[in-house]
Structures are given as C-alpha cells and as structure tokens.
C-alpha cells in the first residue's frame, strides 16, 4: 500500500488471520479474519472494475448480511465513501438520497421494489445487486471473480469514510459526513472504555445501516480482533438460545423490553455474560431495574448520535446509574450550555448538550449553512438534545430541543413529565407532547401505553401529576394507546403523535 488508509489499518491492520470473525446462524455462513481480508479485497477490486474512484459515494440499500459488511470494508479499502440506507425507505425517499449524494454506484436487493423507479429516474446511474442469501446478486458474482489481493488505497485522517443520513424526524434528512479519524478515534475510545478483548463474542442483532450496528458494534469487534454472532434481524427466541455462546450484547431499549417478555431469559442463562450495552433511545429506569432483578446484570447505557459517534457512556468499572448516560468518553468534551449564548451552565441546570472532539463529524453533505448553524464558534457541536450534568459528572438527557413544549410562555421538558407518569404501576410508558392550544400556544398532552392492555385510570394519573409537577407542566389531556409508534432504532416518533393529536384542544 502506498501511504496509509487510516480506518482500514486501524480496524484490520493487526488482525490474526486464523481467528474467527463472524457466524450467521441463519445462513450457516462463517468468516475468519483471513476471509474478511480476502473478501473485502474482492469487493474493492469489483468496485474499481465498476469505475468507482476514491472519494466516490457507494450507496447501499440491502438486507443485513455479512456480505454487506464485507462490502463496507471493500468500499473503505477502495478509498470510497460508504453510504448505507435504511431498508425501509421507499423509492421516493431513496431518490432524494441519490440525487443529494450523487453516488457512483447504487447497490440494492435483487428483488428490490425501488430498483426500477430509481433506474427510470437516474438513467445513467450504475446499479448492482446483493441478496440476503449468500452468493446472490450481481455484485456478489462480480466480486467472486476478483483477486483476493488488493492494494488498499491511501486515505488520510480527514478524508471521508462514510455518509449516514440522519433519521430526521422533522425536515429534510441531512447527510452526516464522517471521516476516517472520526470513526477510528471513537472505535478506540469504546474498545478501551468497555474493555473489549480478543476473547469477546458479541451478539449482533442491530441493523447495519445505522451508526449503532455498523460502527459501534462492528468497528469495535474488528479493532479488538474479537468475534460476533451475526443475526439478520432482532429475534428474541433465537437470541435467548444464543446468549450462552456470547460474552456481550449491544441493543436498543426495545431489545431489552422484548427479551424481558421471554420467560426463558433467566439468571443462569446469562450468568457468564460480560456486558450488556444499550443506546440510541432512552432506556427506562424501570427496564434497567427489571433487567437487573431478572439477570443480575446492570445494563451499561451510552449516548451518541450519527453526527458525533458515541459521546458518553456509563462506566464499565463503577456505578452504572439508571436514567443517566454517564460520562464523556476519553478525548470527548461535553458541555451543557445556555441554548441562546452557548455559555456553560452550572451543574444541575438543564441546557443544550454540546460536544467537541475527534469523534465529531465534518458537517452535513452539501449544506454548509446548516453545518455552520449547528456549531458554536469555539468548535462545539450543538446536539439538539437537552440535559444536565449532576455534581458527580453523570449526564442525564431531558429530551430533544425540538420536543421542548412551550405552554403559556413556560418551558416544559417532556421527559420530566413522562418520568412522573411512568411511575404509575399501570403505565408501561408515556409520551408527552405539545400540540396547538388556543390559549397557551401549546397545550401539554400525555399519550399513555398501559400495561397488559389494562387502562390506567385518568383520574389517578391527574392526581399523580398534580402531586409532583407545577400546574403548567401537568398534561391537560390524556390519550390511551396500545403502543407508542417507534422507528427502526426504537425511537418514539413524537412527530407522528403530534400529528395524530393535533386537534386535542380544538375539538370542543
């Protein structure tokens, strides 16, 4: 290799080729690190054969598979930019991403419904396919014909490795530009903080079009030279079977609530486990406690976002505090600031969570104005999350800035109200939103998912709110639903709820 490819060398530069890398129990596919080196070289050769040049984007919307992961490494080795897309996106959405990112190649499933409308819209776009079953798809066939040797193309620390479009619950999705240094620095911080070692085996059931499943889970595995059991999708029954064979699991909070619903999740079954990690959405303190009661393990909750990689983590050694997201990772600076001025606030006060460090992205693809408006002059990135740091240094997230409710001129942090309602023993979870109110601007509405279909009593909830919250924070209306709407990463879709209940105060 002439020069260095920072991310490839950081992840796979010192691997032991004979060590196991990943097994997919559903397809029977099994890879060693030698296979990763060989197969990623084949993909890199295939990309070059298709005319992909360094700096080009390769957009990928395929079902989760080990080949998709090998393609990711192939893209990095070819000096190109990996652009994974959520498999749930329909043709219209994909068309937006492709027109914005202008990739040199689009890879989709052989049976994709998106393919033909995309080909019609982008007549000159090169399209290849990759199927969920091993060995299926035109790109897989092309890679099979290639040499297992590839002279990895040099890429510097500041060059782009990936663009991930943010889930963007409101407004246009933005492409977060992530460099080789962003990804590698965060991988190293996580491997150190969570003491990931060659002997570890990770249960991988997250999607790999997202930062959590792709970077947090797979990059750390490669950098540590450890291995994983790679499931194509979340499957509680299969995971219960597999837990005795692994040492770590990373999940979104819904993984934990669904695993808790399985009576076969017992203390004995997971006694040997080293670490359970949760992130991407808030883990209810109640889930944390239930999981500890059932298994004896305290889930380690961490916080991050596509633009910044991982920001904070509860300690591996030390107290993992339920309801908090812990301390800044090594090399990462976190401040809670006055949203208007960016000045740091005293400990305990709720403000804008801002972050600076080698983990923070380069900016939004082709949106210089938007990028500038989300950074302070001192280089801190404004996450859009609100939170506070307690005297011991633990960060607690109170909600998203855009979720902030302003009713009659008073600011209400939904999380605070939700915490009160969630304490009722018939409430499974709640979502508190602001919707138009003729008098107050916004009125506070509580949407309640009750336990086992058992409807919590509205009067009791009102009394609970009255006993713990200032009057302006108390929900004026309550709605009961079977479950809260969530996206693929387990985040509650508050925008959907705001639309559904927008007339709550205009009906009368």
Question: Which alpha helices (DSSP H) does 203-299 contain, by range?
Answer: 211, 220-224, 236-242, 253-260, 285-295
Q: How many residues does the chain have?
A: 508
Interface residues for ligand AMP in 201-240 (CB under 6 A)? 211
Instruction: Tell whether residue 94 is a contact of ligand AMP (CB under 6 A).
Output: no
Two tokens at 58? Answer: 């390769």
Stretch binding ligand AMP (CB under 6 A), from 97-105, 274-282, 418-426, 500-508: 274-282
Interface residues for ligand AMP in 399-438 (CB under 6 A)? 400
Which residues, in sequence order, are bridge partners of residue 445?
433, 477
Burial of 367 from C-beta contacts in 10 A (0-12 / 13-18 / 19+): middle
Q: Select 204 or 400, whichever has its Cβ closest to ligand AMP.
A: 400
Stretch binding ligand AMP (CB under 6 A), from 18-26, 117-125, 277-285, 361-369: 277-285
Contact 120, 126 (CB under 8 A): no
What is the CA angle 446-447-451, rounded to 5? 120
Instruction: Tell whether residue 119 is a contact of ligand AMP (CB under 6 A).
Output: no
Least Å distance between CB 443 and ligand AMP?
24
Q: Select 5 or 308, whichever has its Cβ closest to ligand AMP.
A: 308
Q: Select 387 or 443, whichever has its Cβ closest to ligand AMP.
A: 387
Q: Select 82 or 303, whichever has its Cβ closest to ligand AMP.
A: 303
Rounded Cα–Cα distance for residues 223 and 196 (Å): 9
Instruction: Tell whether residue 279 is a contact of ligand AMP (CB under 6 A).
Output: yes
Q: Select 184 or 310, whichever has its Cβ closest to ligand AMP.
A: 310
Stretch binding ligand AMP (CB under 6 A), from 63-71, 301-309, 434-442, 448-456: 301-309
Q: What is the maximal distance between C-alpha atoms in the chain?
A: 72
Instruction: Tell whether residue 280 is a contact of ligand AMP (CB under 6 A).
Output: yes
CA nearest neighbour of 78 among 100, 110, 118, 105: 105
Which residue in 136, 166, 493, 495 binds ligand AMP (CB under 6 A)?
Answer: 166
Stretch binding ligand AMP (CB under 6 A), from 53-61, 97-105, 123-131, 280-288: 280-288
Interface residues for ligand AMP in 13-72 (CB under 6 A)? none
Instruction: Tell whether residue 442 is a contact of ligand AMP (CB under 6 A).
Output: no
Which residue in 179, 186, 383, 474 binds ligand AMP (CB under 6 A)?
Answer: 383
Rounded Cα–Cα distance for residues 275 and 350 (Å): 30
Place of tokens 């790999």: 208
CA nearest neighbour of 465 among 486, 482, 448, 483: 448
CB contact set of 96 (below 8 Å; sequence gap of 6+): 172, 173
Least Å distance between CB 150 and ligand AMP?
31
Which residue in 31, 114, 177, 305 binds ligand AMP (CB under 6 A)?
Answer: 305
Burial of 85 from C-beta contacts in 10 A (0-12 / 13-18 / 19+): buried
CB contact set of 250 (below 8 Å; sequence gap of 6+): 202, 203, 204, 206, 212, 213, 216, 217, 277, 278, 279
Q: Select 240 or 281, whichever has its Cβ closest to ligand AMP.
A: 281
Least Å distance between CB 214 and ligand AMP?
11
Contact 485, 501 (CB under 8 A): no
Stretch binding ligand AMP (CB under 6 A), from 20-28, 144-152, 296-304, 463-471: 296-304
Stretch binding ligand AMP (CB under 6 A), from 90-98, 123-131, 233-241, 302-310: 302-310
Contact residues for ligand AMP, defined by CB under 6 A:
166-167, 211, 279-282, 301, 303-306, 325, 383, 385, 397, 400, 489
């Amino acid at each position: 290799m002439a020069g260095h490819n920072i991310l490839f060398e950081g992840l796979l530069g010192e691997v032991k080729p004979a060590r196991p890398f990943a097994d997919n129990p559903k397809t029977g596919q099994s890879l060693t690190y030698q296979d990763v080196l060989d197969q990623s070289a084949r993909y890199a050769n295939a990309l070059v054969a298709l005319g992909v040049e360094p700096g080009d984007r390769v957009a990928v919307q395929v079902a989760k598979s080990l080949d998709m992961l090998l393609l990711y490494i192939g893209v990095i080795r070819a000096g190109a930019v990996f652009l994974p897309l959520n498999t749930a996106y329909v043709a219209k959405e994909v068309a937006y991403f492709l027109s914005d990112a202008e990739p040199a190649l689009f890879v989709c499933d052989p049976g994709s419904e998106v393919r033909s409308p995309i080909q019609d819209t982008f007549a000159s776009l090169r399209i290849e396919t990759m199927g969920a079953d091993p060995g299926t798809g035109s790109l897989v066939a092309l890679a099979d014909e290639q040499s297992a040797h590839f002279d990895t193309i040099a890429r510097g620390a500041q060059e782009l490795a990936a663009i991930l479009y943010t889930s963007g619950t409101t407004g246009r999705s933005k492409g977060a530009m992530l460099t080789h240094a962003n990804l590698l620095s965060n991988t190293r911080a996580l491997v150190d903080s969570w003491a990931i070692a060659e002997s570890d085996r990770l249960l991988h059931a997250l999607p790999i079009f997202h930062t959590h499943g792709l970077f947090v889970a797979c990059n750390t595995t490669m950098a540590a030279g450890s291995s994983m059991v790679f499931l194509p999708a979340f499957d509680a029954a299969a995971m219960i079977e597999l837990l005795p064979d692994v040492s770590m699991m990373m999940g979104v909070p819904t993984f934990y609530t669904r695993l808790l619903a399985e009576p076969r999740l017992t203390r004995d079954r997971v006694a040997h486990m080293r670490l359970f990690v949760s992130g991407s959405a808030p883990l209810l303190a109640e889930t944390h406690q239930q999981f500890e009661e059932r298994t004896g393990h305290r889930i380690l909750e961490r916080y991050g976002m596509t633009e910044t990689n991982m920001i904070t983590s509860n300690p591996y050694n030390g107290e993992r505090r339920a309801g908090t997201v812990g301390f800044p990772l090594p090399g990462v600076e976190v401040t809670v600031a006055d949203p208007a001025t960016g000045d740091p606030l005293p400990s305990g006060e709720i403000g804008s969570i801002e972050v600076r460090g080698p983990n923070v992205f380069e900016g939004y693809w082709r949106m210089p104005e938007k990028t500038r408006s989300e950074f302070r002059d001192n280089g801190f990135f404004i996450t859009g999350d609100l939170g506070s740091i307690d005297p011991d240094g633990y960060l607690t997230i109170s909600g998203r800035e855009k979720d902030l409710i302003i009713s009659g001129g008073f600011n209400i942090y939904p999380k605070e109200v939700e915490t009160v309602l969630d304490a009722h023993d018939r409430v499974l979870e709640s979502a508190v939103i602001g919707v138009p109110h003729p008098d107050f601007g916004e009125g506070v509405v509580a949407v309640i998912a009750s336990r086992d279909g058992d409807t919590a009593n509205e009067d009791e909830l009102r009394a609970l709110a009255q006993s713990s919250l200032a009057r302006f924070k108390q929900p004026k209306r309550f709605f009961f639903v079977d479950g809260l709407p969530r996206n693929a990463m387990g985040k509650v879709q508050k925008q959907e709820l705001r639309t559904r209940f927008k007339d709550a105060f205009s009906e009368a």
